Amino acid sequence: MSLLKKYFARLAELSAINSIDVDLNRKQVVNITYLLSLIVGLLSAVVFMVNGWVIESTVHFVGAAVSLIGFALSIKGYSRTSRLLFPVACATYIVFCTFLFYGSDSHFMWLLVVLAAYSVTGFRVEGGKAQLLVCFFALVTFAFIKLFAPATTQYVSMDARLLIALCTFTASCTLIVLIAGVVVTKLRRLNKHLRNLAEVDDLTKLSNRRKVLAEAVNVFADSIINNQRCCFAILDLDHFKNINDRFGHEVGDTVLKSFARVMTNNARRGDWVGRYGGEEFVIVMPNTRIKDAVSVMEHLRIQIADLAIQIEGHVAPIHVTTSIGVAEITDDTARYEQILARADEALYMAKNNGRNRVEINVS
């Protein structure tokens, strides 16, 4: 039972959403290719078995068995062997079937086109020689079949050849679509991962300085266009250097993460919270008057002051406070930097007036 669970877990890698892992995506392509080949082989074997052609159906069962072996090698970790096995097994299978059963008029050899898609996604980009060899191998095999295979055989009628051609086209398109889906998903996830690296602060998981300032520009522009008010707040942890000096930077990081979590939990829908740098944070509040902004920040200040941060190895929890400066867009505000500058001035007012307080700058 545990062995079955293990295999099902490996099989689940086909749908794993981890497209920044290139090796996993390559393995997904190999597994999908083998599974589709297995299905094609089994269906062909069943068709011949129904018609009483035992030897012919046996050939297809052997092809399906090779696909199953390749899939098993892949999920067991023999990636290189399984990747190299498929082009050889696929070409051999197509040559045998075309020469002995279907004939070239069935266009069954067009299944070789999947080797082109397979070569691009199943092998490393650095392995350009391997990709070219697989494509060249598929081309030579196709030419060999076209030149030397019989046009038709005793096994298939005109209607059967048409059905085989349709099935070949369907199987080829299905595999190419599945491979393309894996690649597109990888690109989307990779793009999301890179955007996350560019926009999210790694420690606190808040928007980083670049992202929050970009949103500040958007909020400011919307406020000007829609003739609305908006407020910016800058928050600074009081005496944070003392925490680092006394407990170490690891504890300081824990404090910053706890502080960020409280900010996130208390942020309103539509507000942007970001790390400005060090122990400074910014909150951008669209469509907000100064009175409401002060109320929100005062509530947040109290939440921070009530926060008890438990640190491993320390009996007593760490308590922190924050000073907050708030500024509102005014009629003479020409740039968003002016609001930030006024909020920064208000922050220094809060620090000079005793810390752990909210100050506003209405100038």
Average pLDDT over residues 108-126: 77
Query: Quick one: average pLDDT of 308-321?
Result: 83
Q: What letter represents residue 79's amino acid?
A: S
What is the pLDDT confidence band of residue 20, given thresholds at 50, 70 and 90?
Answer: very low
Ordered structural domains, the chain, with CATH: 2-188 (no CATH), 209-361 (3.30.70.270)
Q: DSSP letters along 28-89, please?
A: HHHHHHHHHHHHHHHHHHHHHHHTT-HHHHHHHHHHHHHHHHHHHHHHTT-HHHHHHHHHHH
Mean per-residue pLDDT over the chain, rounded: 83
Per-residue pLDDT reduced to its tens digit, 78-103: 888 888 888 898 899 889 888 888 88
Average pLDDT estimate for 204-213: 90
Q: Which two tokens stand for residue 55?
A: 């030897």
Is the pTM here over 0.75, yes or no? no
Q: Tens digits of per-residue pLDDT, 61-82?
A: 998 899 889 888 888 888 888 8
Reply yes or no on whether the pLDDT at 230 is more than 80. yes
Query: What is the predicted pLDDT for the residue at 22?
Result: 52
Contact 260, 204 (CB under 8 A): yes
d(CA 328, CA 345): 12
The share of the chain scoring above pLDDT 90, in percent, equals 32
Bigger pLDDT: 267 vs 29: 267
Could you tell me how many helices (H) and strands (E) the chain has, helices first? Answer: 12, 7
